[in-house]
Amino acid sequence: MNCFTCGSNRMIETTTIYVEKLENGILIVKNVPCRKCSQCGEEFFSMAIMKEIEKLSRQAESFISEVMIIDYNKAA
């Protein structure tokens, strides 16, 4: 896989922190698996990971107050 931003083929498997502003607060999901470009730092999520994040976001939206931190490894 090449980086969509810079075209580099130096992608590494790692984890990252995903942050999303929801209607009622901010959702922070830590330890999210991703591929990261070692040249420009751009991060990419697989479709399966994005679907899981969307599910977590929908669930969090119903009861988030200000800031919610979720560990992906425990929630997905």
Give the global pTM: 0.83
pLDDT tens digits for 37-76?
Answer: 999 999 999 999 999 999 999 998 888 778 888 899 998 7
Sequence-ordered list of residues with C-beta below 8 angstroms from that of 76, at least 6 positions apart, any chain: 52, 56
pLDDT of residue 14: 97
* Helix H or strand E segment including 27: strand 26-37
Say whether pLDDT at 20 is over 90. yes
pLDDT of residue 18: 97
